[in-house]
């Protein structure tokens, strides 16, 4: 008997099936074949989406190209662009309930978290609006009496945006409003598993007065839609969030035209726990870090590295807390952890646990599918794996499920070796009351974000991105805007002061 906290199905009438259409050059298009999305928790159809073709992708790219080149958006003032972005933010807030419900039904995440994701995304749009008004280049006024130079920032052009299923609306909002603030035009391809909130956003963009063709949406699969968006010569930049394997393919596809590539990829994010830490807070944050979004999170705190002296007690504490986390029906506001996105993904998670067990690891909790009364089979138990060695796949690869691996260390140096012995470098954390330990860790950890005595806090102002195979480029914050800008240097001579280069004969 596992003694887990399980929230059974609540009686709920699901909304009518959502019809997701392409948005190309300001017109909705729905004349092709469709795919159906089943709710991972309920097993019933919740949305039907167009399956885009190469022609759809090319039409969207052509619309974005024309919209960029005629300046209908790129040549507006920052104030005018900010006004539209702020209106979109307001409309997102008005539509939180509708969008959150679709996000929950398509992704399986708890409704309370979907609401948080949508309303938090509105804040990203507001922050991007502030950047649209304040973006500026540099001036060089000390180059000598006869010279003045300015460094201008210009929108990069047409941007392809390809997004995953785990935080469909949040990740779109880490990219799109920043690209728009810069003055770019865009073609967006959401994941085939979670298209609907992107399409609802399309409705809101029109309502907010965004000119036709500035944002185009093409639904469908990586092949051929994503691949066309990544390789097409009329696209100036592709920004992608998803798996490292697909990201590598996108970089290769983009290389034929040397377009700019920004990649937000996977992670295997460590948290190091020292004996002098506030262990109660650390245990709570570790529990949150591994189960948030059922671990289907690039920032999942999926491996902890615990000091030998406290490893046994700390692990027992996490096991105990894990049993108190509410897994179950995502539509119940009491639920903290929902369904796994697909049956295949559930099998992949289970395969990692099975392989670790065979390799000699101990499954201290869980390690199997979870039956939630009244719902389908796509749930997985909170799982903690101990006696793990650093070479095991479960300690090195992204499991993307509610699975925590526990490693141990004796010294800071040893902990840092384990932290940095990884292909990924997205985020890392340290728990200690000693400021020197925290700062030394922060400097030495190879990760785009380091958290000390906290986990997964983020702000629109604070840039995010990965080291090593976790990505290329940065999102949000000021750097997030710069990603979508070209830099042009303008050098000017004042007066006729230049000595001739050609010496008269
Ligand atoms: P995925 O790579 O399978 O798919 C992501 C998107 O790429 C989807 O829209 C998909 O249709 C598209 N795609 C697939 N093949 C393509 C191709 N050949 N060309 C162009 N596009 C293609 O990823 P996923 O399973 O949707 O998401 C999970 C992954 O995303 C995890 O690895 C996770 O770590 C990563 N992720 C990273 C971050 C981050 O910020 N670093 C955030 C969230 C998720």
CB atoms within 10 A of CB 372: 22
Task: Please indicate, yes or no, whether residues 230 and 286 belong to a single structural domain of this protein.
Answer: no
Distance CA 304, CA 406 (A): 5
Give CA 67 to chain center in angstroms.
27
CA of 69 to the centre of ligand 1 (A): 29
Task: Check whether residue 26 and residue 121 sit in a common domain.
Answer: yes
Determine, yes or no, domain membership for 5.
Answer: no
pLDDT at 1: 53
Please state, in angstroms and rounded to a whole number, the distance separating the CA atoms of residues 334 and 386. 29
pLDDT above 70: percentage of residues in the chain: 100
Q: Is there a single domain that holds both residue 478 and residue 445?
A: no
* Domain match, 354 and 424 both: yes
Q: What does the alpha-carbon distance between residue 380 and residue 383 come to, in Å, rounded to a whole number?
A: 8
Active-site residue flag, 298: yes
Q: Please answer whether residues 60 and 216 qualify as being in contact, where contact means their C-beta atoms are separated by less than 8 angstroms.
A: yes
Which helix (H) or strand (E) covers residue 491, if one does? strand 485-493
With a CB cutoff of 8 Å and minimum separation 6, the contacts of 4 are 322, 323, 327, 370, 381, 382
Query: What is the domain extent for residue 165?
Result: 11-265+470-489
Q: Are residues 211 and 276 in the same domain?
A: no
Decide: helix, strand or coil at residue 351: helix
Report pLDDT digits (tens) over 127-152. 999 999 999 999 999 999 999 999 99
293: left (phi over 0), alpha (psi -120 to 50) or beta: left
Number of domains in the chain: 2
Q: Measured between alpha carbons, how far is 160 from 157 in angstroms, rounded to an integer?
A: 10
At 333, list the tokens: 């506001």
List, for residues 166-211, the tens digit of each pLDDT value: 999 999 999 999 999 999 999 999 999 999 999 999 999 999 999 9
Rounded CA-CA distance 505/497 in Å is 21
* Cβ partners under 8 Å of residue 89, min gap 6: 122, 123, 125, 126, 129
Same domain? For 245 and 308 the reply is no
Q: Same domain, yes or no, for 404 and 337?
A: yes
Around ligand 1, the residues with Cβ closer than 6 Å are 162-167, 171, 189, 191-192, 221-223, 226-227, 230, 241-243, 246, 249-250, 264-267, 298, 398, 400, 426, 466, 470-471
- Nearest residue (CA) to ligand 1, atom 12: 222
Ligand 1 nearest atom to the CA of residue 229, by list position: 20
* Ligand 1 atom with least separation from CA of 167: 43
CA–CA distance, 371 with 329 (Å, rounded to integer)? 11
In degrees, rounded to 5, the angle at the alpha carbon of residue 66 between the alpha carbons of residues 63 and 72 is 110
Residue 377: the pLDDT is 82
Residue bearing tokens 């830099």: 487
pTM of the model: 0.97
The yes-or-no answer on residue 264 being catalytic is yes
Same-domain pairing of 239 and 148: yes
């Amino acid at each position: 008997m596992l003694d887990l906290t399980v929230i059974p199905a609540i009686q709920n009438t699901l909304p009518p099936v959502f019809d997701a259409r392409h948005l190309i050059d300001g017109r909705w298009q729905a004349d092709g074949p469709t795919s159906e999305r089943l709710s991972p928790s309920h097993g019933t159809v919740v949305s039907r989406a167009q399956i885009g073709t190469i022609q759809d992708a090319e039409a969207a790219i052509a619309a974005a190209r024309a919209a960029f080149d005629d300046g209908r958006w790129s040549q507006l003032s920052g104030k005018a662009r900010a006004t539209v972005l702020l209106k979109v933010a307001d409309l997102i807030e008005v539509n939180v309930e509708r969008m959150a419900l679709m996000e929950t039904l398509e992704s399986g995440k708890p409704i309370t978290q979907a609401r948080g994701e949508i309303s938090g995304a509105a804040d990203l749009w507001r922050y991007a609006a502030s950047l649209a008004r304040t973006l500026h280049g540099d001036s060089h006024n000390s180059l000598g009496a006869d010279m003045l130079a300015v460094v201008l920032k210009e929108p990069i052009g047409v941007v392809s945006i390809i997004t995953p299923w785990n935080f469909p609306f949040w990740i779109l909002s880490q990219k799109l409003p920043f690209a728009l603030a810069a003055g770019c035009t865009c073609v967006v391809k959401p994941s085939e598993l979670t298209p609907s909130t992107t399409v609802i956003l399309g409705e809101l963009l029109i309502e907010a007065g965004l000119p036709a063709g500035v944002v185009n949406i093409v639904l469908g699969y990586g092949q051929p839609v994503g691949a066309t968006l990544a390789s097409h010569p009329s696209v100036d930049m592709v920004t992608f969030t998803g798996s490292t394997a697909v990201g590598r393919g996108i970089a290769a596809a983009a290389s034929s035209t040397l377009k700019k590539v920004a990649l937000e990829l996977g992670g295997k994010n460590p948290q190091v726990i020292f004996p002098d830490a506030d262990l109660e807070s650390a245990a709570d944050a570790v529990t949150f870090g591994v189960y948030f979004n059922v671990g289907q999170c690039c920032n999942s705190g999926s491996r902890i590295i615990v000091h030998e002296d406290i490893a046994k007690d700390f692990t027992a504490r996490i096991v105990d807390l894990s049993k108190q986390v509410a897994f179950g029906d995502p539509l119940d506001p009491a639920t903290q952890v929902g369904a796994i996105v697909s049956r295949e993904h559930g099998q992949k998670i289970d395969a990692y646990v099975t392989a670790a067990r065979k390799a000699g690891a101990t499954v201290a909790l869980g390690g199997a599918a979870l039956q939630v009364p009244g719902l389908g089979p796509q749930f997985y138990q909170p799982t903690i794996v101990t006696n793990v060695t650093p070479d095991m796949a479960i300690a090195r690869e992204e499991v993307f499920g509610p699975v925590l691996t526990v490693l141990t260390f004796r010294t800071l140096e040893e902990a840092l070796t384990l932290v940095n012995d990884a292909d990924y470098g997205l985020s890392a954390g340290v728990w200690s009351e000693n400021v020197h330990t925290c700062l030394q860790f922060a400097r030495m950890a190879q990760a785009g974000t380091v958290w000390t005595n906290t986990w997964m806090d983020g702000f629109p102002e604070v840039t995010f991105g990965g080291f090593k195979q976790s990505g290329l480029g940065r999102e949000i914050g000021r750097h997030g805007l710069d990603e979508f800008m070209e830099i042009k240097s303008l050098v000017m001579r004042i007066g006729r002061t230049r000595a001739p280069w050609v010496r008269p004969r």
